[in-house]
């Protein structure tokens, strides 16, 4: 049911409720009027239920989309972390010999801490 139809049913229901007035002052309705109002109320409730179902379906679809995006981002994050760890291992592997070389030179008092190469 389209939104315009739903709005029309709601406005008809409101007009009907206003025309009926308060319950304590109301005169008994004929059986036909009562059936019409019940059908109208039923139509409004069904339309509202249909609308809520559509909203629920839209929300479920959005949740599924966001869940898929979250899973993709988690995979991407895990890949970045693995890449970071690999580069950290490489940096450590390269830094360890440099550190050992430096400490070897610092421990040796006879040799200077920095060696210069002769350029031919």
pLDDT digits (tens, 9 = 90+) for 81-115: 999 999 999 999 998 888 888 777 766 655 555 55
27 pLDDT more than 60: no
Of 21 and 41, more confident: 41
* The model scores a pTM over 0.85: no
What's the whole-number average pLDDT of the chain? 77
Dihedral, CA atoms, 34, 36, 40, 45, nearest 10 degrees? 50
Q: Is position 41 within any domain?
A: yes
Q: Is position 14 within any domain?
A: yes
Q: Is position 96 within any domain?
A: yes
Confidence of residue 25 (pLDDT cuts 50, 70, 90): very low
The angle formed by the CA atoms of residues 58, 63 and 69, to the nearest 5 degrees, is 130
Please state, in angstroms and rounded to a whole number, the distance separating the CA atoms of residues 101 and 103. Answer: 6
Q: Do residues 42 and 35 make contact, with C-beta atoms less than 8 angstroms apart? A: no
**Which has the closest alpha carbon to 44: 71, 96, 15, 5?**
5
Q: Is position 114 within any domain?
A: no
Per-residue model confidence (pLDDT) at position 40: 86
Give how many domains the chain has, as a whole number.
Answer: 1
């Amino acid at each position: 049911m389209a939104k315009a139809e739903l709005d029309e049913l709601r406005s008809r229901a409101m007009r009907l409720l206003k025309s009926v007035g308060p319950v304590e002052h109301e005169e008994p309705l004929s059986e036909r009027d009562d059936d019409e109002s019940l059908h109208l109320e039923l139509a409004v409730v069904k339309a509202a239920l249909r609308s809520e179902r559509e909203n629920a379906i839209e929300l479920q679809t959005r949740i599924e989309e966001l869940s898929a995006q979250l899973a993709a981002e988690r995979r991407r994050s895990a890949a970045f972390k693995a890449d970071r760890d690999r580069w950290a291992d490489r940096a450590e592997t390269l830094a360890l010999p440099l550190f050992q070389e430096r400490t070897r030179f610092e421990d040796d008092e006879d040799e200077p801490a920095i060696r210069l190469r002769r350029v031919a």
